Structure 1
Amino acid sequence: MTNNSLYNITIQQIKNKFGINYLDSGLDSNQVEERLKTIGLNKIPDNSGYSVLSLFLEQFKDFMVLVLIGAIIISGFLGEFDDAIAILAIVILNAIMGFVQEVRAERSLQALKELSAPQAKVLREGSIEEVPSQELVPGDIILVEMGDKIPADARIIKENNLKVNEASLTGESMAVNKENTTLQGKVAVGDRKNMIHMGTIVTKGRAEAIVTATGTDTEMGKIADLLQQSEDNKTPLQERLNDLGQWLVLICFIACVAVVGLGVIKGESIYKMFLAGVSLAVAAIPEGLPAIVTLSLAIGVQRMIKRNAIIRKLPAVETLGCATVICSDKTGTLTKNEMTVQQIYTIDQLFNCQVEGFDNPRLKRILEIGTICNNARLKRGSSLSGKINEVKDYVLGEESKKEVVGDPTEAALLLAADKVGLKKEDLRAEFSKVLEVPFSSSRKRMSIIGKKRGEYELFIKGAPDVLLERCSNYIEDGQVKKLTSRIKNKIIRQNEGLANQALRVLAVGYRKLGSNIDQNNLEKYENNIIFVGLVGMIDPPRDEVKSAIIDCKKAGIIPKMVTGDHKNTAVAIAKQLELLNKGDQVVTGKELSQMSDQKLKEQIDDIAVFARVAPEDKLRIVKILQEKGHVVAMTGDGVNDAPAVKEADIGIAMGEKGTDVTKEASALILADDNFATIVAAIEEGRAIYDNIRKFIRYLLSCNIGEILAMFLTSLLGLPLPLLPIQILWVNLVTDGLPALALGVDPADDDIMERQPRDKEESVFAHGLKWKIGARGVLIALGTVLVFLFGIRFTDSLLKARTLAFTNLVMAQLFFVFSCRSEEHSLLRINPLSNIYLLGAVAFSFGMHYLVLHLPFLQEIFNTTVLSRGEWGLIILVSGGSTLLIELVQFVTNLFRKNISLIDFKELISKT
């Protein structure tokens, strides 16, 4: 049994389809048992098929990890057990972190299953009983009321003023009116008035309904199926590091074979050259690189936590840094996910409540009527998490948390009244409610009749066109006047103006009834109403989102709204946020369904707003953007967003109002639901990727310098300038703390003025490999130069090797400062902006100084003390090249950017 087009057939046809004999008795136990056997439980099965062991072993299949395992074996063979243990610790740590991330990702389906209500009220064999929701079957008759989470997809039989919040399924912010009707033609999920769906929440009224689908056949179940089918792709950073690992192994193999071969040819022993070759192999592979990458990302995570962003997967920050498109849901992401009164119209004035506030005597009567003619409830001081509707309000300058239970429109009226001190309980105490004529989709109005000081009075609110037909008078300056056609047209025009701003408009009025009423025919009193005013409300945009969108565009990132809400509302919000500009297109889900993938691919860059879309549409949009070469970030909060969030290159979930399934499918969670936090994450992502390039540049340049120094001396027929133990020491001293310190380097000032990286861009792009090679050559030449000086002028191989050894260390410690920026010269960077780097270099220099001066270390490392003159030579050779290159880059940047003399002086003063 399926629920295909069940909204198109009559209740009698529904009864026949599901074998229901009597609507007042429901299914019998035999029918339930049989259907449970054939259809299964009303739950989403776990088809992941993964085991804990397999997930853990997967962590060791990464190419870089295999290289590190090889380094462990080599280090152990050399007797460098400390080094081997350190590398092994890195491998295990990375495996554990990756394993934990994989396990957490698999929890997304479990979170989705938990959305269904644990218990359900069902009519069986003539009596109402509560059963576990997973035991529901198609054909069951369920009963739901305000506050209930709907346990399965169902067709409405009876309803009393039913409204359902379907934001978690469709993305629409306003509660939807439901009714028992038969729809014609194909209808989108969000417009199926006669259906209720699993996981959505009843905000008003009650209903009886026939279950039409359970488990994976529900709309929520279809989303789970989409979530299972989407794949986790490697991030750009992971792909770049994989390429780097292969490149390193190739270079290492060629260089080590060449060095060993040349050494053997010139007469060195095979054993000695083998040890030298293996030492070079360990040095050539920067085993600290994965740890440094992890640390750099972890530091980024800590920074983001302080800025209300929670990173679930370490590479997420870097991936966000190269995003070119952000697909953002509207409700709760760009907007506050709470209806708010924006404008109030009295016959003589239009009040903008966001500017003027509500504290105006002319508005008091309107707010009194809206508060009394209201079934929502306001609770103070309660938790904001996991509620039907949540609001934050500011009263007397202090944040006051309030929970509103009920219809969001009525909640907005309560909050507006609360801001001027009008409390529903106080007003109801004076105005005792006698009768209510409830709102319905056919009536489009609601009336309350109450008694105050012995006199009856009717308060009414509803659709302006309906209410105006029942008005005979209006109030102006406190006086009741005759409603003429001119005034009526004036009100109609004002209503149209508010509606064109995508505001939901309610009219309010009242009527005095005297001391006696006929309680058997209340609707007759809904005439001769005195019109009081119009109230326009909307789910407003977040205050900080507009500037965040502007910053995104400045950074070359295109924001797109992808929402299940109506077109007019989406367009109004998009225009307010400057997300929709001249020339941009707006496409609805219906129009999207008529577009081929090729046509969508051609137009998608020009589409700024996708409105009234289904979950499948969101997933399709993400995939088409990816086919166009975009790196896609998808923000979301509802369950309907989860498949697209998981499929996107970087999925972003809302922390406060997001569903569990979306959080588990995401890589980044915004704890404050603030779109502006995404901009901060983008900046952090770019900074982290820059820092990764910095220490790749540093580590590889240094390692190439070591290999080339060994290769050149072998080529010249000279003795080896470095012993295996010295090579390993250089690797330890320079590849450790200084490289780590680069991972915390602050971002360049202009980092958010650059265009996003191409996702196919190599980690060596923009000439990085040439910079690495050139600097490696300079380091090698300087080392060979001082080695030749030592051989020629000291006539001591011990002294010559100490000179070469020390020059290699110092050249790398000077060079680390050059790696702080690829765009700017070291002379333009504040040296105190990274005190960790200064400390790391000082510590590394101190360690090397001890190797040269402590006798027992001299014996281990085959070193000797250097004279002042020899230190001067090393400083000149190792530091001179760094200073020269930085001066050249500084001057080049001055001319390239046409910096004036005044700017030049300012830069000099800063440095």
Structure 2
Amino acid sequence: MATEVSWARKARISHPSVKQLEMPDGELPPSEPGADKSADPWHAVDVNAAVRLLETDAEQGLNEQQVLRQTARFGANELASEPTTPWWNLVLGQLREIVVILLLVAGVIAAALGEWLDATAILLIIALNAALGLYQHFKSERALAALRNLAAPMARVVRLGETRRVPSRELVPGDRIELEAGDSIPADIRLLKSYQFETHEAALTGESMPVEKDHTLVLGLKAPLGDRRNMVYLGSLATRGRASGVVVATGMQTELGRVAGMLRDQKPPTPLLVERISRLGRNLVVICIILVGVIAALQLLRGQSWLDTLQLAVSLAVAAVPEGLPAVLTITLAIGAQRLAQRSALIRKLASVETLGSVTTICSDKTGTLTRNEMTVQEVVTSDQSWQVTGVGYAPDGDVLRQAGGQDQWRSQTNGDARCDQTTTTSLELARAASIGLWCNNATVERAEDEAHWQAIGDPTEAALVVLARKVGVVRDSSRRIVHESPFDSERKMMSVVTIDLNSNYELLVKGAPESILAATTRQLRAGGVAPMRDEDRSRIRGYCEEMAGRALRVLALAYRPANGASDAKEDDLVFAGLVGMIDPPRAEAQEAVSKCHAAGIRPVMITGDHPATARAIGRALGILSEQGEVAIGQDIDSWPDAKLLEQAPRIDVYARVSPESKLRIVHALQKRGNVVAMTGDGVNDAPAVKAADIGIAMGITGTDATKEASAMILLNDNFATIVAAVEEGRRIYANIQRFVHYLLAGNAGKLMFMFAATLLSWPAPLLAIQVLWLNLITDGLPALALGAEKSGGGLMEQPPRGTHEPLIGRRRAFRILWHGGLTAVSALVGFFLVYQHDPMKLAEAQVVAFCVLGFAQLAYALTCRSDRETFFELGAASNRALLAATGASSILQLAVILIPACHQAFGVEAYPTLGEWALIGVLSILPALIIEVTKKFGRSRNDAAAC
């Protein structure tokens, strides 16, 4: 045992497995500088060494005393739960948001003015926001719970030579485990024996196909997780065969536990919208305090009473605070989320809707997202001919295209032309190969429940062969049956069946790895019949295999020979029938979506656990891998320091065989370079990176619960094109947020400037606080919501993404807000002055006129906020009917306050406007919007002329 321990020390591996066995009381060894955190020594030792290191018995297992001792050292075989945060602390955290603070200020002001209805409404909004925040927090905590649910509830363990079923949480390192098809793997296990054993590890590695296991292998220290074929891991599923092994890691020390630890420690970034709104809120608070302070000081210097000054200050504060902003923002995001749901994208965090519009890099998984996750035969090569097979997926729709004369042109051959009874020899060769693939097969293909799709029952590779046979026209019928089967195993790398027909003719049909089939063939099927297999023929066929594999096709060879009975199943003296090349093809819509990304200034990056050759081929086919782009392998990335990864990240378009840690490092490297990163994932290994990304996206069909709970968005159809559609929707939502924020701030700026100018001019208070609050209520509510639902024009995906530090309101837009608000303020000042004329007897009428002008002018201004470039009539009056309805309803409410006597006392209205004053109100209310529309037209004409 000393030899193995010495070896472990020299390996400088800090992962707690072999080294942990040396530590007293289960303590973990300290991390060593430069240690390879992803390496696991158990795959690098042979079976006997592993058993000795674990101080167990390969046949008898552990005894009870050893189990107790190991339990005390390593604890229960379960994932740790995160400490619970008190609910009151979570509530306080929700109330610290600057937008919520603004709401609280508005609520206090409303309560101080005796407007209990408004104060109650504001408090309800605050409570709703807090409840939504708490709900999202508790949802995110379910990610670790989802990981814990992956653990197998029971396991078959051998202790003292007796096989028993025990709860998996009671397993300890050294336990001998029995596994068979259908079992969930209960811990990390070094295999002792394996019999045609396969596991599905997509949740951990991203590998789409089941992995063949071989207990006899001893691998290198840095072998990637997906290549460790002598190990099985917690969270994976046994899909075939049986095996036995010894537990080497439990609980948080498993590969799944390490992912859970990363997920627990990883804090999701603050959504960009929250940062932008917080920055805007802070600026508004500062501006409000300065203006209110200056005006209050001027009032006091002029000898105004403290009570009058306080009343004016309250009016200004109400005018400055956009009370409707949080509510309108939440509803707009909710509407956007609903639209995204209609496009098969489910939003779990509302603020992430806007983040979508800022995405600069999309890191996407390959299998099922960029590809269909349906193996499809694309080529068949016989000794004399090449065939191309059209159609994708498991639907038996498509043609077989024969290469004409060895040239690059193809001649169509319909399904009917390829039947077995056709007289053309080339068609007979094709039919022969398709028939072998169909009979040497245990899969079926059938329509799904929705009748619109086809699904595979069984191995995807075998299902692809079934579909090929249907396209060729070969079917299984009652004239032949299987009398013997030799299942596939990792040593032979072949599967074979013996069949018998109605004439009692026996035949051995074989499929498998090309090198294994070629080694067992002595003849080949050619156009003139069966011919000898020469060395040059083998070299030529190997050349076909290498060329097809270079295009990331998975290649199988097909062969046969006559048999002398059901027991004549020896796989030798075979007749080579052909090669079949298959691949999980790219989605047809994914290529268009990638093109849209490039046009929109978004960089798509593929991060997959699949083989580099496959990733390279799919990347090239979709346009993700550019001519200058590079492919990086996870094993290399693991050895890079962060500085090198940061330097290389802009040049790498495709990452293959990537570990969970590397995925996380890739996301952080891209973020450090100023990217807004969207990260897709389906497996547990993706969850930490999905959580760390600016917008984490989980697969709704193939995704694990852990990844879904860590994500901000779930793709209901697992389609990359849906991500691009969601980005477009995010950009539209951001444009609408800018619209209604511009509208709200311009309206509030107009009221502030009006009140400020009246104070500087020593006029009496032109508006009461309750009137300002009312104006905010009718102008900031429904019209802003309608602007939030505006249908943006085209061209959104032809614009570059926004910068991460770009504010919601930039300097140019801020100037326009002041300009637009100033127009409204001037109109109201003009109306107030023309009626007031420094006559105290006209003060009540002047206040009513200013009250009406401010309200109607802002409502008319809402119609101009639909576009920064097009006028209201160019866009079409009926293209946003909700805005027309909102401005109409708000106008009616404003008229009701002026015309209904019962409202006068509540709102401080002391006079009715005369007919002439109504005319003045109409002109002054329309004038700001008219000036803005003319300015748009003039400015656009000038810019167009300059462009020419």
For 2:235 and 2:566, the matched residues in 1 are separated by 43
Q: Does 1:449 align with 2:503?
A: no
Q: Does 1:369 align with 2:436?
A: yes
Find the partner of 2:845 among 799, 806, 810: 799
Which amino acid in the other structure matches residue 402 of structure 1? Q
Contact 1:258 1:711 in 2 (8 A): no
Contact 2:871 2:933 in 1 (8 A): yes
TM-aligned CA deviation for residue 435 of structure 1: 4.3
Q: How does 1:428-443 map to 2 (within 5 A)?
A: 430-436=480-486, 438-443=487-492
Counterpart of 1:354?
390
Find the partner of 2:696 among 651, 654, 675: 651
Q: How does 1:381-530 map to 2 (within 5 A)?
A: 398-405=451-458, 407-417=459-469, 426=477, 430-436=480-486, 438-452=487-501, 453-477=503-527, 479-485=529-535, 487-514=537-564, 516=565, 522-523=569-570, 526-530=571-575
Alpha carbons of structure 1 residues 255 and 766: separation in structure 2 relative to 1, 3 Å: closer
Contact 1:511 1:530 in 2 (8 A): yes
Which amino acid in the other structure matches residue 603 of structure 2? I
TM-aligned CA deviation for residue 127 of structure 1: 2.6
Counterpart of 1:378?
444
Which amino acid in the other structure matches residue 500 of structure 2? K
Q: Does 1:2 align with 2:17?
A: yes
For 2:838 and 2:677, the matched residues in 1 are separated by 62
Counterpart of 2:127?
92
For 1:267 and 1:421, the matched residues in 2 are separated by 100
Counterpart of 1:152?
187
Find the partner of 1:869 among 887, 912, 916: 916
Counterpart of 1:710?
755
Q: How does 1:750-765 map to 2 (within 5 A)?
A: 750-765=795-810
TM-aligned CA deviation for residue 212 of structure 1: 0.8
Contact 1:435 1:450 in 2 (8 A): no
CA offsets, 1:683-721, max 9 Å, x none? Answer: 111111111111111111111111211111111111121
Find the partner of 1:311 among 347, 370, 373: 347
Find the partner of 1:167 among 202, 207, 211: 202
Q: Does 1:889 align with 2:936?
A: yes
CA offsets, 1:435-463, max 9 Å, x none? Answer: 42x33333222222233342321111112
Deviates most, 816-825 or 630-639:
816-825
Find the partner of 1:611 among 644, 656, 663: 656
Q: How does 1:313-352 map to 2 (within 5 A)?
A: 313-352=349-388
Find the partner of 1:697 among 739, 742, 752: 742
For 2:741 and 2:188, the matched residues in 1 are separated by 54
Counterpart of 1:30?
65
Counterpart of 1:544?
589
TM-aligned CA deviation for residue 623 of structure 1: 0.5
Q: Name the Cα RMSD after superposition.
A: 2.3
Counterpart of 1:274?
310
TM-aligned CA deviation for residue 403 of structure 1: 4.6
CA offsets, 1:21-44, max 9 Å, x none? Answer: 3x2222223322332232111110
Q: How does 1:713-724 map to 2 (within 5 A)?
A: 713-724=758-769
CA offsets, 1:436-491, max 9 Å, x none? Answer: 2x333332222222333423211111122321232232224583333345544443
CA offsets, 1:156-203, max 9 Å, x none? Answer: 111111222222111122222210222244311111121111111222
For 2:946 and 2:579, the matched residues in 1 are separated by 59
CA offsets, 1:407-438, max 9 Å, x none? Answer: 432233234445667666x57x82232242x3
TM-aligned CA deviation for residue 503 of structure 1: 0.5
Q: How does 1:591-670 map to 2 (within 5 A)?
A: 591-670=636-715
- Match of 1:147, SS? coil
Counterpart of 2:240?
204
Q: How does 1:728-743 map to 2 (within 5 A)?
A: 728-743=773-788
For 1:404 and 1:863, the matched residues in 2 are separated by 80
Which amino acid in the other structure matches residue 363 of structure 2? C
- Match of 1:687, SS? helix
Q: TM-score, normalised by structure 2?
A: 0.89
Which amino acid in the other structure matches residue 309 of structure 1? A
For 2:552 and 2:172, the matched residues in 1 are separated by 41
Q: How does 1:101-116 map to 2 (within 5 A)?
A: 101-116=136-151
For 1:197 and 1:478, the matched residues in 2 are separated by 52
Contact 1:163 1:202 in 2 (8 A): yes
CA offsets, 1:73-117, max 9 Å, x none? Answer: 221111010110011011000000011001100110000111122
- Match of 1:410, SS? helix
**Count of residues in correspondence between the two structures:** 877
Contact 1:78 1:275 in 2 (8 A): no
TM-aligned CA deviation for residue 495 of structure 1: 2.0
TM-aligned CA deviation for residue 382 of structure 1: 6.8
For 2:390 and 2:175, the matched residues in 1 are separated by 48
Which amino acid in the other structure matches residue 119 of structure 1? M
For 1:161 and 1:860, the matched residues in 2 are separated by 84
- Match of 1:330, SS? coil
For 1:888 and 1:351, the matched residues in 2 are separated by 65
Which amino acid in the other structure matches residue 774 of structure 1? W
Q: How does 1:802-817 map to 2 (within 5 A)?
A: 802-817=848-863
Deviates most, 100-109 or 845-854:
845-854
Identity of aligned residues (%): 43
Find the partner of 2:77 among 39, 42, 52: 42
For 1:577 and 1:898, the matched residues in 2 are separated by 40
Alpha carbons of structure 1 residues 900 and 696: separation in structure 2 relative to 1, 3 Å: closer
Counterpart of 2:13?
none
TM-aligned CA deviation for residue 252 of structure 1: 1.7
Alpha carbons of structure 1 residues 594 and 33: separation in structure 2 relative to 1, 3 Å: closer
Counterpart of 1:133?
168
For 2:878 and 2:599, the matched residues in 1 are separated by 29
Q: How does 1:532-611 map to 2 (within 5 A)?
A: 532-611=577-656
For 2:593 and 2:606, the matched residues in 1 are separated by 14
Contact 2:234 2:255 in 1 (8 A): yes
For 2:788 and 2:753, the matched residues in 1 are separated by 26
Q: Does 1:284 align with 2:351?
A: no
For 1:411 and 1:30, the matched residues in 2 are separated by 50
Counterpart of 1:54?
89
Q: Does 1:239 align with 2:275?
A: yes
Which amino acid in the other structure matches residue 10 of structure 1? D
CA offsets, 1:520-567, max 9 Å, x none? Answer: xx43xx222111111111122122111111111111110001111111
Contact 1:115 1:199 in 2 (8 A): yes
Deviates most, 685-694 or 309-318:
685-694
Alpha carbons of structure 1 residues 151 and 839: separation in structure 2 relative to 1, 3 Å: same
Find the partner of 1:80 among 104, 115, 131: 115
CA offsets, 1:784-813, max 9 Å, x none? Answer: 111110013986112111111111111101
CA offsets, 1:658-706, max 9 Å, x none? Answer: 1110000000000011111111111111111111111111111111111
- Match of 1:123, SS? strand
Contact 2:323 2:776 in 1 (8 A): no
For 1:412 and 1:34, the matched residues in 2 are separated by 51
Counterpart of 2:422?
none
Alpha carbons of structure 1 residues 353 and 614: separation in structure 2 relative to 1, 3 Å: same
- Match of 2:646, SS? helix
TM-aligned CA deviation for residue 129 of structure 1: 2.3
Counterpart of 2:23?
none
For 1:701 and 1:489, the matched residues in 2 are separated by 77
- Match of 2:378, SS? strand
Contact 2:783 2:886 in 1 (8 A): yes
